[in-house]
Amino acid sequence: MQAQTPSDSPACETVELQIRRQHGPTSRPYWQTFACPVRPGANVVSLLMDLREHCVTQDGTRVDPVAFEHNCMEEVCGACAMLINGSPRPACSALIAELEAPIRLEPLPKFPVVRDLMVDRAALFAHLKQVKAWIKLDGPWDVHERAPRVSPKEWQANYLYSRCMSCGCCMAACPQFGPQFGPEATFVGPAPLAQVRLMNAHPTGRYDKAERLHAIMADGGLSDCGNAQNCVRVCPKAIPLTTAIGELGRETTLQAFKDLFGPH
Partner 1 sequence: MSSSIENSHFLLRRLHSLLGLVPIGAFLVFHLWENSQSRFGAAHYNDEVVGALQGLNYLLVFELFLIALPLLFHAGYGLVILRHGRAEPRRYGYLRNRLYWLQRLSGVGLILFLLLHVGLTRIAGLFDPAISADLFGHMQRALMQPPVFGLYLVGLLLAVFHLANGLATAAIVWGLTTSAEAQRRFGWVCAGFGLLLAAMGVHGLLGFLIAPGAGGGA
| Contact set with partner 1 (CB under 8 A) | 86, 173, 175-176, 178, 180-181, 185, 187, 213-214, 217-219, 221, 223-230, 232-234, 240, 242-243, 245-256, 259-260, 264
Toward partner 1, which CB reaches closer, 34 or 161? Answer: 161
CB atoms within 10 A of CB 219: 12
**Least separation, in Å, of the C-beta of 88 and partner 1?**
10
Toward partner 1, which CB reaches closer, 43 or 242? Answer: 242
Q: Quote the DSSP letter at residue 43.
A: B
Nearest to 176 by CA among 168, 194, 161, 188: 188
The enclosing H or E element of 15 equals: strand 14-21
Contact in structure between 169 and 88 (CB atoms under 8 Å): yes
Toward partner 1, which CB reaches closer, 11 or 218? Answer: 218
**Least separation, in Å, of the C-beta of 172 and partner 1?**
10
**Least separation, in Å, of the C-beta of 150 and partner 1?**
19
Cα dihedral 213, 143, 151, 235 sign: positive
Nearest to 134 by CA among 217, 223, 198: 198
Toward partner 1, which CB reaches closer, 64 or 154? Answer: 154
Q: Quote the DSSP letter at residue 100.
A: P
**Least separation, in Å, of the C-beta of 32 and partner 1?**
22
Toward partner 1, which CB reaches closer, 26 or 227? Answer: 227
**Least separation, in Å, of the C-beta of 227 and partner 1?**
4
Alpha-carbon distance 42 to 19, whole Å? 17
